[in-house]
Amino acid sequence: MHELSLVASLFDVIECHVKEQKPKAVTRVRVQLGRMSGVVPELFETAFDTYKKGTLAEDAELEIVVVPVKARCRSCRRIFRPAPDAYSCPHCGSDRWKLLEGTDIVLEKIEIEI
Amino acid sequence: MKRGTPPAPQTRAGRPAVSRSRRKEILVREEILGTNRKVAAELRKRFEERGVLAVNMISSPGAGKTALLEALADRVKGRFRMAVIEGDIETERDAERIRRKGVPARQITTGGACHLEAKMIGKVIPSIPGDVELLFIENVGNLVCPASFDLGESLRLVLLSSPEGDDKPKKYPEAFLSADVLIISKADLFPHLPFDAARAAREALDVNPRLLVFVISALTGQGLPEFVEFLAARLAALRHA
């Protein structure tokens, strides 16, 4: 349950981006969660709803986009999306690959009311 | 970001104006853990400049992180100066165990948090002896949450103990994915358990083919000499970089 810590960091980033605009409210927050980021979307949502109380984002809607895992095979150089529990390249079968996407937690955009 | 009461907009005649709020979108595209990463990068630079090999240890509770540190303390005595930062939700117990081995240890009690963060490490660094060469950071016992937080380490270990079962790497991939080294611990229990060390290693290597695997028993000392030599080599490489 580290989702609350992550939401606290999320609010720091939000504050950083909105403070100069002096908004009346933050109305929408869109976050990308990598499927391998170790974050459970439902828990992230609960943590967000708990944390937002008493802040400018009190009535904000949280939109979560789950980003699938993307990898590049080190042998055949092709890009593929590994299925859960599949750890080899579907094209050549190699188990040497590099993750390109799907491990990050990104604040994509914020909507504010000014 | 506390909610303030904005003054009601007034017209020149002093009557409330029609609200003219509008909505605006701000594109951010920023990694939420960016702040932690930045602090961690500063710590890593500091450690590496001072020739300190910082090691972050991750595992479920009871996998044998503290026992491994106790055994290492005996093995590196007189060869390397070692110190430990202990992360736990409550109590000084683990730090006391390490201190009994004559190794400086600093306890961080998180008071509920299930992982350590880089800024917590930054805060206790001043109380770690300046001439330390091997700095172990024993994370809070948890195979999930600590994986997301870089602590500025140069080496990340994940421990999997034989009683936990050989099927864990694919069930908890994040910890194995982010580690440099897998330690299969409590090897002395292999004869008593339906644990297949080769399967555990294979599963972990499927998740992360870069992992180096050590099979260790802190109790009998099996695998410890090899692991100490590995640490020595990493420390030497860091100093000659």
Structure tokens belonging to residue A56: 């400018």
Which CATH number is B34-240's, of 3.40.50.300, 3.30.413.10, 3.30.70.980, 3.30.420.40? 3.40.50.300
| CB–CB contact A55 B1 (8 Å) | yes
Helices B65-76/B224-240 angle, 10° precision: 70
Q: Which of B30, B117, B144 sits opposite A38 (nearest CB)?
A: B144
Taking contacts as CB-CB distances below 8 angstroms, the residues of chain B near A94 are none
For residues A60-75, average pLDDT = 94
Q: Which domains does chain A have, with CATH numbers?
A: 3-113 (3.30.2320.80)
Kindly provide the ipTM of the predicted complex, given to two decimals. 0.86
Statement: residue B1 has pLDDT above 80: no
pLDDT at B7: 52
pLDDT digit string (tens) for B172-224? 988 999 999 999 999 999 999 999 999 999 999 999 989 999 999 999 999 99
pLDDT of B75 above 60: yes
The model's pLDDT over B21-42, given as tens digits with 9 standing for 90+, comes to 899 999 998 889 888 999 999 9
| CB < 8 Å to A11, chain B | 1
Per-residue pLDDT at B11: 46
Distance CA(B106)–CA(B85), nearest Å, equals: 5
Return the pLDDT at A38.
85
For residue range A4-39, what is the model confidence (pLDDT) as tens digits?
A: 889 998 998 899 889 888 999 999 999 999 998 889
Does the pLDDT at position B19 exceed 70? Answer: no
Of B190, B187, B189, the C-alpha closest to B217 is B187
In A10-87, beta strands by DSSP E: 25-34, 61-67, 70-73, 79-80
- Which candidate in A62, A107, A108, A113 is best for mutational testing of the B interface (most B CBs within 10 A)? A107
Residue B110's pLDDT band, with cuts at 50, 70 and 90, is confident
Listed in sequence order, the DSSP H helices in B50-188 are: 65-76, 93-99, 118-124, 168-171, 173-178
Per-residue pLDDT for A84 more than 70?
yes
Residue A73 pLDDT greater than 90, yes or no: yes
Query: According to the model, what pLDDT value does residue A85 have?
Result: 74
For tokens 């008593």, the residue is B192
Interface contact A96-B209, CB threshold 8 A? yes
pLDDT at B72: 98
